[in-house]
Amino acid sequence: MKSFCGKMLEVDLTSGKAKNILISEEMVKTYLGGRGLGARLLFDMLPAKTEPLSPKNVLIFLTGPLTGTMVPGSSKFVVVTKSPLTGGWCDSYSSGRISLELKKAGYDGLVIHGRSNHPCYLRIDEKGVQIREANLIWRKDSFETERILRESEGNAPVGISSIGPAGEKLVRFACINSDLYRQAGRGGVGAVMGSKNLKAILVKGSQRIEIHDRKEVVALNRLNHKRAKQSQVAQARMKYGTPLTLNITHTGGILPTMNFQYGTWEKALEKIDSIGVHKSITAYKACLFCFTHCSFETRINEGKYAGGVLEGPEYETLGMFGSNQLIDSLPTIIQANILCDQLGMDTISAGNIIGFIMECFEKELLSSKQTGGLEIRFGESEASLAALRMMAHREGFGEIMANGVKVLANYIGNDSNRFAMHVKGMEFPAYEPRGAFGSGLSYAVSPRGACHRRAWPPAKEILGGYPPYTIEGKAEMIKALYNENGILHSLLVCDMPAKFIPMSLDDYSQYWHAVSGESVSKEDFLKISERIETLIRMFNNREGFTRKDDFLPYRTLHEPLPDGPAKGQCIGEENLNKMIDEYYALRGWDASGIPTEETRRRYGLLGENEIQ
Ligand code: SF4
């Protein structure tokens, strides 16, 4: 099968030994790559109930079968592990040159076990891996780390992924940075890397990636490029990037405002929305192999942080550091984003936690005495930035913030968990589910916790004509969105071109054939996606997750939204339960959320499939 290396590199940091593990074509046909292959490997390699920050946890970097093949958005990789934030399944995605370099070095991915007894980094090429001392980069921020490592290679093109101080300090939502501004952000993958004393991974490959029919890939790209030019959605996304989403969520009344108390914020408009951000764009950017760029560079031109440069900010950061904290200063949000990238923290979780603390101060559940002097209220941008630094370094009250909003709410008590906006311990992203009930279901059943990437219901409920405040048809809708994204995340292509252009699973089936020489139908893809989702559910079940963990916070279920087009709406426990019942039934899971024997048989998951 072309474009597929057939092997992964396995490194044990405790013993310092490395070997290749072979991945059969059968395995790729059954699980594709990326998310699917990661699910199989994690299930098989990780002993049940492993402590996520112990040496026994496994950190898996995976490319996909389309990586590096010129297919639109094919420079993604995924990091799969057991999350220190949720204690369950974690898959965290990023763009980055490292995906291409791994393939060029002859590896479909990298599996890391154990813990080094000193800070180290990995240097990988086609000859194998060297475990090198990290004295020069330990305690450096992510930007500086990357600069030093790049210089050590004579500034030649290499793939680098690294952690910042937050990863070293085991902040439970620490991310892994690549190419300065790209993050595998969610679930604390950076903390797992830090727990292994692994500061960075540098990869340099030189092999050519084999493609079955290069001309066919080019022909498909021409066709899709033409479709992108004709697509108003694609053109708008290329002009405004993801900040355009803020205008959509504000209009739909699902823009998280003041820690998800409200769903709209007029002051966001023209300041931190697509128009406001557009004025600060200094250059457009794209990931490798992407012709529907959604990325751009901004620069802070005035004030205390003048001179700051960022690739971004993305919508999620605008939502979580803007409306959710009532901050309408774009320079402050850009600065918060730069800090998160440098220190190595997920902007979504960090922004959510600060919004929660602001509400605790507003409700007088927290005092500056408890926080060691930190007083932080809605709209206070300097305090927000100070909180970020404290979290990353686990300084003072940062020690508690660094464990996520769920732990923080337990510490504060006084029913603050009613407005601690998370699922399974992972903080809500920037969509208010009371104005789009499908989002609520999607958050609740997501195996990695509150997540906007497995399904993006606003596409249907705000833009797509599905009534947003009903539960009818939502289970089917979410299952279909999960299944489609499950394939994109296993092929490891960016799901945004698929939405913007748009491209269907039939289009990816054509790409798959052109790249690998193999045929797979849309129906085959969907069956694979069902298998992957079931296996991930089995992983979480094994870790102790049951239906009780597919929950939503009290606020989402019981407090009616006070403003906007969704005014008066909340999801309600009965509605959530009905959607979950329906979703489980559609998946072939029993009422407690456990895949039935028949379902496991259907997807070949009754026995333990061995790694080939
Ligand atoms: S659409 Fe955006 S995130 Fe996706 S590959 Fe292109 S530039 Fe990267």
CATH number at residue 100: 3.60.9.10
pTM to 2 decimal places? 0.97
Please report whether residue 469 resides in a domain.
yes
| 318 in the same domain as 183 | no
| 448 in the same domain as 399 | no
Q: What are phi and psi of 63, to 5 degrees?
A: -90, -175
Beta-bridge partners for 77:
94
Please report whether residue 212 resides in a domain.
no
d(C-alpha 61, C-alpha 606), whole Å: 26
pLDDT for residue 406? 98
Q: Atom 8 of ligand 1 has which residue's CA nearest to it?
A: 287
Q: Domain boundary at 427, 452, 482, which?
A: 427
| 132 in the same domain as 243 | no
Q: Are 43 and 60 in contact (CB under 8 A)?
A: no
| 240 in the same domain as 182 | no
| 496 in the same domain as 375 | no
Report CA(407)–ligand 1 centroid distance (Å): 34
Q: Are 409 and 234 in contact (CB under 8 A)?
A: no
DSSP H or E run through 132: strand 128-133
Please report whether residue 238 resides in a domain.
yes
| 466 in the same domain as 330 | no
Q: Are 125 and 202 in contact (CB under 8 A)?
A: no
Range of the domain at 34: 7-203
| 491 in the same domain as 422 | no
Report CA(238)–ligand 1 centroid distance (Å): 9
Please report whether residue 350 resides in a domain.
yes
- HEC string of 493-517 equals CCHHHHHHCCCCHHHHHHHHHHHHC
pLDDT for residue 27? 96
Report CA(84)–ligand 1 centroid distance (Å): 28
| 275 in the same domain as 127 | no
CATH code of the domain covering residue 375: 1.10.569.10
Can you say how many angstroms the Cα of residue 439 is from the centroid of all Cα atoms in its chain?
A: 16
Q: Domain boundary at 150, 183, 203, which?
A: 203
Please report whether residue 413 resides in a domain.
yes
Report CA(99)–ligand 1 centroid distance (Å): 14
pLDDT for residue 612? 31
CA distances from 425 to 18, 281, 330, 353, 550 (A): 34, 35, 29, 11, 11
| 255 in the same domain as 114 | no
Q: Atom 4 of ligand 1 has which residue's CA nearest to it?
A: 494
Low-confidence residues of the chain: pLDDT under 70: 608-612
Q: Give the position, in ligand 1's atom list, of the atom nearest the Cα of 295.
A: 7
Q: Domain boundary at 399, 427, 455, which?
A: 427
Probe ligand 1: pick from 240, 244, 292, max atoms within 8 Å of CB?
292
Please report whether residue 213 resides in a domain.
no
Please report whether residue 262 resides in a domain.
yes
| 302 in the same domain as 388 | yes
| 281 in the same domain as 418 | yes
Q: How many domains does the chain have?
A: 3
Going by C-beta distance under 8 Å and a sequence separation of 6 or more, which residues neighbour residue 353?
391, 401, 404, 405, 408, 427
Tokens 């950076």, residue located: 190
pLDDT for residue 608? 55
Site residues for ligand 1, CB cut-off 6 Å: 73, 95, 286-287, 290, 292-295, 494, 496-497
Please report whether residue 487 resides in a domain.
yes
| 478 in the same domain as 345 | no
